[in-house]
Each structure stands twice: as C-alpha cells, then as structure tokens.
Homo-oligomer: A and B are copies of this chain.
Amino acid sequence: MATAAFPELDSAKESILVENLLQWSLANGLVIYPPDFKSYQPVSAPVTLFPTPFPRVAFKDADDVQLLFNELYAKVSSDLEFLSEIIDDLAKFDSGFTGKLWEIFLKAKKIGISQPLSLGIFRSDYMVNEIEGLKPQIKQIEFNTVSVSFGGLSTKVGELHRYLNNHGDYDIGEGTDKYYDEKDLPISKSITKLSEGLADGNYYYNDCVSNTKTVVLVVVQHKERNVFDQRLLEYALLTKHGVKSIRLTLSEIDSKTYIDPQTKKLYIKSTNDEVSVVYFRSGYAPNDFQNEQDWENRLTLETSKAIKAPTLLTQLVGAKKIQQILTDEVILKKFLKEKGESNFQQLLDTFVSIYPLDDSERGKQAKKLAFEKPGNFVL
C-alpha cells in the first residue's frame, strides 16, 4: 500500500472523482431510496471517496473467525433449555418487543414447528483495536442474526473503489502507478455468497433437489428504502440459481399467502407458488409490527413448513444479552466442546468486556463507568 492513508487530490481532481464516483454508483445499482421517495427515483448510496484502510491481519482474522461464530450462534439457537431462562428474563425487561417475539415463539412451539431447518444469514461487526507495538485486533461490536443489510451493496462498494483506482481517479501525479495496488482493494463476495445461502435454503427445503419451481419469500418493510441492497441478492438468486423471489410486507401475509393445513406448506395466493424460504428483511424492530395481525402473521410464517431465515429463536439469540453471556469462557466451551484451544482463543480475542444494563452489581458498575467515561464505550 502507498505511504499516505489517502491520496491528496487538488480540488479539480476531487470534483472529477466525485462525479465519477456518483455516476458509477448510479449506473451500477449502488443506490438507495431517499426519504419520501418516488419509486422511479433513487439516490446514490453514501460511500467514502477513498477505500478505508484496514489492517490486513485484522481483516484476515475477521474472515477466519466467521465460521466459528456462525457455528456458535447456530448451536446456541438450538439449545432451548439454555435460551429459555435467559430470554424469559430478557422478555420482562423488554416486554413490548423481545417479550412479544418470545411469546410468539412459545405459541409456535405449542402449535408445532413443522420445519426443523433454519437458515442463518449473519453479520459480525468489528472495530479495530490498535495499540502501538501490538498486532491490531478486531473487537466485536455486535453479531446480527436478522435482516442483515448491506450484503448487496458492499460488493458494489468494493467494485466502485476498484473502478476509481483503475480509472486513474486516485492518481496524484502523471506517469505514476495506480495509487492502490489492486490486491489491496478486496471485493466482498457477499452478493454471491448470500444468494448461494438462499439457494441452499431452497435446496434443503426440497430434500436436496435443485427445484426452481419453489420460490423465496422476502418479507420487507413498508416503504423500504434499502430495496436495492436486497434486490441485488434477489437478482443473483434468479440469474445464478434460477430461483424466483416474491416480496411482501408482514401485513400482507394473511391476505396474499395461504397455508395448506395438512402439509403446512406456504403458498403465494395469486400464483400458487410454493415458498421454500422466508427471508426476513423486516420484523426486527417494534415498528415493523403495526398491530396484532402482524404478530399473527409472524406466527403463521413460523409454523409453516418454509425454512425461515431466521427463525424466531435465531433472531432472539442476536440479543446483546446473549452476546454478553457468550463472552464467558465456560459457556463458550459448553457450546463448542469439540473445538481446540486455538479456536477458543480466536473467539476470545475478539471479545471486549460487555456489561449488563440491569440492576445487578455489574449493571450498576456499568452505568457508573458509562457516565464517567462515555468515550470508552459502545452502547
């Protein structure tokens, strides 16, 4: 990598950079709807002018540890006994949302959950901890298990920065090499990988047969602005795997889908398309549920035979409280008993102290610390 973190451009070159960046974004789907949008008019998605430098070793660590995290959260999602106690407690603190999700899960369990499989589409967020003389370390901020966004656009951001570099928009002098070495500008495979995940869901739903008659139902927010992030995955799913997707809001579920009472299979009413995977890009915030019918619809989906991405349990294990509990080495080892020391160390290295915000002694200490040195903490 070049010596300075960013190329220093004069204002004329910076104007050209901005124009080239915006037009590439608009020509390549790196877009988002603005507030109060018209359906034919997006804006370019906000991005940095230059690629953000990130230590290669920390990048590699994040890449390496992801499968372990996926496995950990998948195992936690399956341990109902362990979860019941924690979430029962949590539900009391946040009865309007976590409590409701838990209540719907318990109802679904009573009715009967007809699909044993669940699809996890996860995103682990980090900041880098750089201390002079030490190897830079990734520290986990949060682990997301529902409606994980920007997997579509992030591939495009990498492509954008690479285009700008190839096009010479970062060049600071004549006759010089490109400012960035292309190998320092990785392009995320997120579009390919996440659409593969959805295609895998479809495949396992159909007993390991590549069925392109069944469809993926994308549950979206009303007036969703981040449509294109989702669309890029849907287009890859259709183009590369031949699997169609249908978009409905949570409140449209009862009027636009139906369930076969015998098989519990979920269908789209207008086309009789059978749904293999329900991909939630909604249902993660209290506002996504406008009324009791919306909760009822969530229950309908949970008890259907379609594979959920994610199930209510997988969504619930994304709670910060679970993240906190998993920083306990003893608990970690309980879930990953067959793993070796180096694997535990990989995970432990990404942890920082997480304080509860309850009335416990440690919760009280947390509040004190947060008020004294707010700059030291992530809420």
Contact = CB atoms under 8 A, between A and B. Distances in A.
B29 A26 contact: yes
A163 B43 contact: no
Contact of A23 (B27, B28, B231): B231
B43 A26 contact: no
Contact of A42 (B42, B167, B168): B42
A23 B228 contact: yes
Contacts of A272: 174-175
Contacts of A235: 24, 27-28, 163
A38 to B, nearest CB: 8
A43 B40 contact: yes
A171 interface: yes
A23 B235 CA distance: 11
A44 interface: yes
A30 to B, nearest CB: 9
Given A27-B228, A41-B42, 13 more contacts: A13-B270, A23-B227, A23-B231, A24-B231, A26-B42, A27-B231, A28-B29, A28-B235, A41-B44, A166-B238, A167-B244, A168-B271, A175-B272
Interface in A189-209: none
A158 to B, nearest CB: 15
Interface string A37-54: 001111110000000000
A146 interface: no
30 contacts: A12-B270, A13-B270, A18-B39, A19-B39, A22-B39, A22-B40, A23-B39, A23-B228, A23-B231, A24-B231, A25-B40, A26-B29, A26-B31, A26-B228, A27-B29, A27-B228, A28-B29, A28-B235, A29-B29, A34-B41, A40-B43, A40-B44, A41-B43, A41-B44, A42-B42, A167-B244, A168-B271, A171-B271, A174-B271, A174-B272
Contacts of A163: 235, 238
Contacts of A167: 238, 244
Interface in A222-272: 227-228, 231-232, 235, 238, 244, 270-272
Of the four ranges (under 10, 10 to 19, 20 to 34, 35 or more), the interface on chain A belongs to 35 or more
Contacts of A168: 244, 271
- Pick the 6 closest A-B CB pairs, nearest first: A27-B29, A40-B44, A174-B272, A27-B228, A27-B231, A41-B43
Contacts of A34: 41
A18 B38 CA distance: 13
A208 to B, nearest CB: 24
A121 to B, nearest CB: 19
A253 to B, nearest CB: 16
Nearest to A12: B270
A27 B271 contact: no
B13 A40 contact: no
A318 to B, nearest CB: 28
A296 to B, nearest CB: 23
Contacts of A171: 271
Nearest to A245: B167
A85 to B, nearest CB: 44
A13 B232 CA distance: 22
Contacts of A43: 40-41
Nearest to A152: B27
A244 B174 CA distance: 14
Interface string A160-177: 000100111001001100
Contacts of A271: 168, 171, 174
Interface in A141-189: 163, 166-168, 171, 174-175
A212 to B, nearest CB: 10
